[in-house]
Amino acid sequence: MERNQVVLVDTNIIIEAIRIHCWAALSGFFRMETVEKCREEARSGCAYRPGYITVLEKDLQDRLVGHLVSDEALTRLTLADPDSALLDPGERHLWAHALGRAEAWFACSADAAAVRIAVRLGWEDRLVSLEQLLEACAARSSARNLNRQFRSEQLSKWRTAALLDRGLA
């Protein structure tokens, strides 16, 4: 992965990157993009809940491109993979947006169901872990604090299971 490559990120990635204080490094190295639904999800939640991470609009506005997703795009995704309708709204919108992209991109999600759908759509080589992104932008020290679902090993397990389900491992 190289500087300025497009990386599509979901809500969980945004929140985790802010939690471990590497959002500036990531968004300064990659072209971080998402969908408006993920931006909305990242700013919501109960601030009084233990472990809640505050995501400031300033961080999202200055460092993250947010795309609107049409009902037509969501329908195309559902036709491409009917199980995509079961995804959380943010991941569903992100994959609907990705389905319509022509240029190269990577995607980063820490959601097993989203990884399964991505593999069924043939995107297994586009999936990267947050840990991989941190290594690429020389923010390895931040990777020590990552929760398990954001690590390369976990993504590999999910991707392998999805490939086996698809019958192409």
Measured between alpha carbons, how far is 68 from 5 in angstroms, rounded to an integer?
Answer: 20
Measured between alpha carbons, how far is 75 from 104 in angstroms, rounded to an integer?
Answer: 22
HEC string for 38-54? HHHHHCCCCCCCCCCCC
- The pLDDT tens digits for 48-98 are 778 788 888 887 887 899 999 999 999 999 999 999 999 999 999 999 999
pLDDT of the residue at 168: 60
Residue 60 lies in a domain: yes
Give the sheet arrangement for strand 31-35, strand by strand.
65-67, 31-35, 6-9, 106-108
pLDDT of the residue at 48: 75
- The pLDDT tens digits for 110-149 are 999 999 999 999 999 999 999 999 999 987 777 788 999 9
- The pLDDT tens digits for 30-47 are 999 999 999 999 988 766
Residue 13 lies in a domain: yes
What is the tally of structural domains in the chain?
1
Q: Which residue has the higher pLDDT, 144 or 159?
A: 159
CATH classification of the domain holding 86: 3.40.50
Residue 147 lies in a domain: yes
pLDDT of the residue at 166: 86
Residue 106 lies in a domain: yes
- Max Cα distance, the chain (Å): 45
Question: 88: Cβ–Cβ under 8 A, 6 or more apart, which residues?
Answer: 11, 111, 113, 114
pLDDT of the residue at 145: 85
- Whether the CB-CB separation of 69 and 39 falls below 8 Å is answered with no
93 burial (CB, 10 Å; 0-12 / 13-18 / 19+) is buried
Report which DSSP code applies to 127. Answer: B
Residue 1 lies in a domain: no
pLDDT of the residue at 56: 81
Residue 69 lies in a domain: yes
Residue 85 lies in a domain: yes
Domain extent, residue 71, equals: 6-166
Residue 169 has pLDDT above 60, yes or no: no
